[in-house]
Each structure stands twice: as C-alpha cells, then as structure tokens.
Structure 1
C-alpha cells in the first residue's frame, strides 16, 4: 500500500476495515482526531463543513457534531445537515481510539432508524509515517451495505484526503 491509497476489505459480512498510510508522525495524526480545531478543517467529504463540533475526549465522553453541505455544485445536498454522535469507549493515546458512532439529531438524540457502528482506530508508527487502521463493525451485513450504498467509501476517501491536506498545512 502506498501513501494516499486506501485499502479496504470486509470480514464476516459486517466488518469493514480501511487502512491508509499518512506521511506524518503518529502523535500528529492522533491529535487530528481529538482536537476540535483540527477536526473542523477536515472532517467530512469535499464540500462539507463542520459548523458544530463539541468534543469531550475521554472514555465515556461524547463528540456531537454537524456536517453541513456548503457546496452549491452538490445539487440537492446543498444546505443539507448530517448530525452525528460518538460515544468514546476507550482511548490509549497515541495508539487507539474506540467508540460507537451514531446518527443523531441536533439535540444529540440517537436516530434509531440508522445503524450504529462500533469503530476502532489504530495509529501505527511506521518509521515516521503513520498507518491508520479503521475497523468498523456494523450490526448486520445489511447495515454495512446500506452505508456503502450511501457512498461511505468515497466519503471516507475524500475525508482522509482532507486530513492529509490539513496535516500538510500545519506540519
């Protein structure tokens, strides 16, 4: 796998594993996932911003956020808001972040009609670069298929490209 390339595979019909190597030290990559001032600059696909980003970065803490489409060229998506809520389960700095990811509303109420995801992010030091491994376990094969059909792989690719750009700006 080369830098900027995402490798993906599915295990057990409901676990999606994404990997990418970033040309940045592990501490910096990890910090990008915990600092709201960094997240606001890169979280979400192209054309989407993060106007709301409240983080309590600790086990049991919550990250409540809103992604909003600001790109008029995205047609019907322009102006759309997508709210999310993360509940952190385990954090080992700068190695691992484990959380449950939910769709929510602006008040933080979990949307029971959308699948939640158990996510483990691993940050692996590889000679000054960082291999990021995102392991997302869905409640069912159908839940995984539904997020894939929503364009999740393209979205994460664009998001991680924006992460790379943000790190290049500040390092």
Structure 2
C-alpha cells in the first residue's frame, strides 16, 4: 500500500502528529451533497457547531481567500466569536481553513483539513484533521471537549444532509 502523497506546498507535509486531532464519519449521502453542505453559505449556518449551539453570521464568503465570521451561541446565551479563513478548496475533494476566535492575534488558531471521499455505495467518508500550534494547545482543547464537540458537529452535519436528501 502506498503512502498518501504530500506536496511541498502543504503545511500538512511535516506537521508533528502530536499536534493533530483527527475526526471521521461516514455520511449516508453522495460526496457532492456533503461538500455542498460545507460550501453553501445557507447550509453551513444550519448545522455547524456542537449540539445546543446556534450560529449567528456577521460575514460569510466560502471561497478561497474568503472569511466566515460568526458567533456560536450556547443555550445559556454565551457567545463565542469565531473566524474561519478559507485557504484552499478543491471541489468535492477537500477544504482547508484556518479556524480560531475572531481575533487577529489568536494564539490558539489552528488549521483544519476536511476531505471528502465517496465510497462505492454512494456514502461519503468525511475526515476532519485539525493542526494545532503546539502539543500543549492540542492537549488543552482535547481537555475541554474538542473531540466530543467535533463529533457532535459531524453528527449534526449527517442529520442535516439526511434532511436535504429526503426533500
């Protein structure tokens, strides 16, 4: 079995594994539908974020170089100002973003690589990789529930896609 290729232009090439969080989910929908849920401004706002969180968007441009600025709002009204900058998008294959608080100098900002792989049965394997700036930061976000919250987000995506495909 050959190893996946890593291009010289990608920061994923030499990223230390102890800074990474990897989440994966099989979604019962074609890759084009799952990819659209990430790239359609109306759809992403419906499902993104952990259970119990809603999204309030301030700016959204889901294109390479574009920015999505939004608040995640908890049930208790707490607001978490967030920003994603879309670095690279390859239609139906991958999306790479920089994600963090809506602060220019956010020391906890991290990269995300989302890949979409269609299986022969029409389902999509979505893999979300996070690259954190340090092992300490990775350990911190795991400690406050990043893996669980990421799993909840992917579960919400799967429910959203099921609704879209049943229409």
Q: Structure 2: where are the runs of 5+ without partners?
A: 1-15
Deviation at 1:94, TM superposition (A): 1.0
Q: TM-score, normalised by structure 2?
A: 0.83
Which residue matches 1:39?
44
SS of alignment partner, residue 67 of structure 1: strand
Which residue matches 1:168?
162
Mapped contact 2:41–2:62 kept (Cα < 8 A): no
Question: Does 90-99 or 52-61 show the bigger shift?
Answer: 52-61
Q: Structure 1: where are the runs of 5+ without partners?
A: 1-10, 71-77
Q: Does 1:124 align with 2:117?
A: yes
Q: Distance in 1 between matches of 2:139 and 2:124?
A: 29
Which residue matches 1:54?
59
Q: Distance in 1 between matches of 2:44 and 2:158?
A: 12
SS of alignment partner, residue 33 of structure 1: helix
Higher normalized strand content (fraction of residues)? 1
- Superposed CA deviations along residues 26-76 of structure 1, whole A, max 9, x for unmatched, are 001011111121122211111110122532122111111111013xxxxxx
Q: Distance in 2 between matches of 1:26 and 1:64?
A: 26
Q: Distance in 2 between matches of 1:63 and 1:169?
A: 24
Please, what is the CA RMSD of the aligned residues?
Answer: 1.4
Count how many residue pairs are aligned between Structure 1 and Structure 2.
149
Q: Does 1:157 align with 2:155?
A: no
Report matched runs for 1:1-171 at 5 Å: 12-52=17-57, 54-70=59-75, 78-104=76-102, 109-110=103-104, 112=106, 114-127=107-120, 128-171=122-165
Question: Does 159-168 or 52-61 show the bigger shift?
Answer: 52-61
SS of alignment partner, residue 101 of structure 1: strand
- Superposed CA deviations along residues 124-160 of structure 1, whole A, max 9, x for unmatched, are 1112110111111111100101111121111111111
Q: Runs of at least 4 residues of structure 1 off by over 3 A?
A: none
